[in-house]
Homo-oligomer: A and B are copies of this chain.
Amino acid sequence: MALWQDYLTKHRSRFITELCDFVRIPSISADPTHKDDVVAAAGWVASRLRAAGAENVSVMPTGGHPCVYGDWLHAGVSQPTILIYGHFDVQPAVPLELWTTPPFDPDIRDEKVFGRGASDDKGGMLIPILSFEAMMKTDGKLPVNIKFIFEGQEEIGSPNMPDFVAENRTLLAADMIFSSDGLQWTADEPNIVVGLKGLSSMELKVTGAKSDLHSGLHGGAVANPLLALSQILAGLKNAEGDILVEGFYKGVQELTDEDRAEIASVPYNEANYMAELGVDALHGEPGYSTRERAWVRPTMDVNGIWGGYQGEGSKTVLPNEARAKITCRLVDGQEPQEVFEAIVSHAKKICPTGVKFSAERLVGSGTPFRVPRNHNASEMVRQVLEEVYGMAPYVTRLGGSIPIISTFLQEIGVHTTMFGFSIGDENLHAPNEFFRLRNFDRGQKAYCRLLEKLAV
């Protein structure tokens, strides 16, 4: 047995106690009243890094919640430098009454730690720190150079991280990046994510007369902005699911047979998926499977629409303004600003007469990417996970966008390898979040093996 394995086993109960201590800090980044708690969590992380053996540890200011950095860079220039990412902020815990035990008073039941952030991402980000400690304390050194960067604003969309990463490009420079904010496939099946969608967010506005009008006096005489907005939205995407915006699909690569086979090999039960969502039918772009649409095809969703009277009963008003929010999930080859411009230009073209159309891009943007096949770090992780779980990880993509991953690619020029030890069923953003201790152990082992394997 490796020395580090012995260390992990010996200190297991302390590590669990530490995870509980960490969860106990209510570092809710979205809630200004918890601003000091986010700072306290940063302080906790910094101390824990130092205790593990990290150097140059510091809580670093950003325009918002702080980051924590630490490193150990004594493996020599011939060894790779890796950057490990995670976040110590958590989602809000409301509604509190749905929690069996209080969100910030962690409870261990059935080999699971219950508490807000236990799974997302406090458990996840603690794992590589513990693996690092195990190797440092048993061997006095690490086979590779390591940097840690943990943020406190992931749950609010990392608004200050693009600037922070850009300003600290040299400090964070690395040959490989690993994110601890990832998911296994199921309780005992590993997973590695090789693609993320990008994001382009916008708000559309249609205005008519200078004020709301009486629909009896003016109905039929002037255009109705709510109807005009509906017509514009219906003109962006048809009922079959094809996006009609000229230029929207520009740069999007067709799926290869290999892509399709890789996606099809991941277990998926459409009937279960429909039951889970409570729908009678799935719906989307023709010519692609549901998984393909969700994982690798660009999408467009209306996130909100509003205008006029929303109260009880009827009001005979001809409203003068309607708005909609749209987010597009982009794939490799698309660019958020270009997609925004294509939509605006198309909407202007189809906007009916008698109303004015305008649009603004919203904060919430991300560049899509796909990790190249045979990407070195991903290949290593694949091998390690196969070793630890006894099966090869599923290779999946995410329809979601993780801004920090795009930022790393843009600023540091490195694709992040995404894998993790949490599971989608652990109530990540819901009441009664929990983390399975079995995977807390597995994760520590996997990171130790990875650190060993990365040494050339």
Contacts and interface: CB of A to CB of B under 8 A. Distances in A.
Give the secondary structure class of A's interface.
Answer: mixed
A284 B224 CA distance: 9
Contacts of A323: 310
Most chain B beta-carbon neighbours within 10 Å: one of A201, A220, A293, A299: A220
Interface in A212-257: 213-224, 226-231, 233-235, 237-241
A313 B220 contact: no
Contacts of A45: none
A305 interface: yes
A325 B329 contact: no
A92 interface: no
A348 interface: no
B353 A281 contact: yes
A285 interface: yes
Contact-residue bracket for chain A: 35 or more
A197 interface: yes
B325 A216 contact: no
A315 B308 contact: no
Contacts of A313: 362-364
Given A217-B294, A217-B400, A231-B239, 6 more contacts: A219-B327, A221-B291, A221-B399, A227-B237, A239-B350, A305-B308
A220 B294 contact: yes
Contacts of A216: 197, 199, 329, 398-401
Contact of A215 (B280, B314, B319, B329): B329
Nearest to A400: B216
A313 B239 CA distance: 27
A68 interface: no
13 contacts: A213-B277, A215-B303, A218-B294, A219-B399, A223-B279, A224-B301, A227-B233, A280-B354, A281-B353, A301-B318, A304-B317, A305-B308, A305-B322
A94 interface: no
Nearest to A402: B216
A214 B398 CA distance: 12
A333 to B, nearest CB: 16
A300 B318 CA distance: 10
A317 B199 CA distance: 13
Contacts of A302: 224, 226-227, 230, 308, 319
**Which of A209, A224, A279, A350 counts the most chain B CB atoms within 10 A?**
A279
A324 B209 contact: no
Interface in A42-92: none
Given A201-B314, A314-B364, A221 B282 contact: yes
Contacts of A102: none
A352 interface: yes
A381 to B, nearest CB: 22
Given A305-B226, A325-B308, A221 B284 contact: yes
